Amino acid sequence: MARTLQQLKESVERMIAEQGADAPVAAFIFTNPDVFVMDEDGEQVTQSREIAAQVLNNVEDDYDYLYEEIFNCIENELRELN
């Protein structure tokens, strides 16, 4: 399930408390403005919060292979360093 920005903030604050503010991180964050369609004039039309929540929830639920690919990239990078 996609989270709200407030929930994300709380998660980040917990990670900072656990790992320290200077811990390395990589993040890919998509929010409501990233969920848009192009109109006939080539302009971006941002979708409602309800539609954005549904789309982002579906992306998180239906595309687990994205997480797997990221972990594969991390493993590859670690192999290159060792």
Domain-wise residue ranges, the chain:
5-81
Contacts of 22 (CB under 8 A, 6+ apart): none
Could you tell me the pLDDT band of residue 57, with boundaries at 50, 70 and 90?
Answer: very high
Check residue 49 and give its pLDDT: 95
Check residue 60 and give its pLDDT: 86
Mean predicted confidence (pLDDT) in 16-44: 97
Check residue 2 and give its pLDDT: 80
For the chain, what percent of residues have pLDDT higher than 90?
A: 88
Question: Average pLDDT of the chain?
Answer: 95
Using CA atoms, how far apart are residues 57 and 64, in angstroms rounded to an integer? 12
Mean predicted confidence (pLDDT) in 42-53: 96
Residue 38 pairs in a beta bridge with 44
Full-model pTM = 0.77
